[in-house]
Amino acid sequence: MSAVVLTSGCTGEKAAGDPDGSASGKPTAAQRSGGAEDPAPAPAPTVEADPAKVPRTGEAARKLIREVIAGPELFSAEARRDSPYEGDPATWSVLDDSCVWRREPLPDGVLATLTRHFVHPAAKSKGPVRMTVTVTVHPSTAGAAWEQAAMLEEALSCTEQTLSEGRKLSGLFSNASVWGEAGNNYAEDSLFEMGSCSSPTDGGPYPYQYQQATFGPLVVSMSACASKGWDARGLLQEVNGPVPRMLLRAEAKIGRPVEGTGSKADPAAHAVPGTTGGREGR
């Protein structure tokens, strides 16, 4: 998926100097005809999770995660492993009533989870970008849907959040879309979040972005906290690849063609209500 899809689908930004969003300044087809312009229909999904292939045990879920989760290769060429590289797979992050994230043992509604940490080193006039990815496997698609719904609610109830080591998130705004809505033609359910981040070491506030999506019982997510010299658009271009690429890996491993399409996943192309994980993967 390209940065254009994310920008138009999630941030709703328009071209500079053009109140109608037309970079050329010429009238659109809708303006010429005096009516609304019919949007092009979104392509139908061609791959779905195959119940016969989804993990049923913690061991199988951990194996799948290792096959799906991003390494530095899914970011830019400059991305490196951060230290520590991997989080504790026996725990996940939970947001408490004080809007503080803390680690807790995995609940019964989660088969396995893993978080990895990366850094885009400082260069020239720009400071480092700290990034994380998380993949979580639930026993069912419903469990993944609960996690997605709860994450959307968290930005509404806690617009200011505290992570580990005194890092803070502020001004959080989330937008969710199912397949075919708001430019989402890559995930069954996609969530995009923007805001600001700050830390005792890097200062701030700086642009912050979080993306989360589902495929069957899997939830994949990516977070990025920028530093000096970065704006929101530049950060988006830096980190827009991992989530759709992890989804493609998941489709290749546990997907099947949607009945009537005859398509297959192509990696080269393209529960427990009230608790969520992966935010330390923020």
* Structure confidence at residue 151 (pLDDT): 80
| pLDDT score of 203 | 87
State the pTM of this model: 0.76
pLDDT of residue 42: 59
| C-alpha dist (Å) from residue 147 to 84, 100, 257 | 25, 18, 25
**How far is residue 19's CA from residue 66's CA, in Å, rounded to a whole number?**
46
Per-residue tens of pLDDT for the chain, all 282 residues: 333 333 333 333 333 333 333 333 444 444 444 444 555 555 667 889 999 999 999 999 999 999 999 999 898 888 899 999 999 999 988 899 899 999 899 998 899 999 999 999 998 889 999 999 999 999 999 999 888 888 877 878 888 999 877 889 999 888 776 665 556 666 677 788 999 999 888 888 999 999 999 999 999 999 999 999 999 999 988 888 899 999 999 999 999 998 765 444 333 333 333 334 544 455
Task: State the pLDDT at residue 78.
Answer: 87
- Number of Cβ within 10 Å of residue 270's Cβ equals 15
Residue 180 is predicted with a pLDDT of 58
Residues 6+ apart with CB under 8 A from 10: 175, 177, 182, 183, 192, 194
**Domains delineated in the chain:** 3-10+44-281 (3.40.1000)
Query: How confident is the model at residue 184, as a pLDDT?
Result: 62
Q: What is the structure's pLDDT at 249?
A: 95
CA atoms within 13 A on the CB side of 282: 35
- Maximum alpha-carbon separation in the chain: 59
What is the rounded distance in angstroms from the CA atom of residue 276 to the CA atom of residue 149? 9
Cα–Cα distance measured from residue 261 to residue 244, given in angstroms and rounded to the nearest whole number: 21
Give 91: exposed, middle or buried? Use CB within 10 Å, 0-12, 13-18, 19+: middle
pLDDT of residue 149: 83
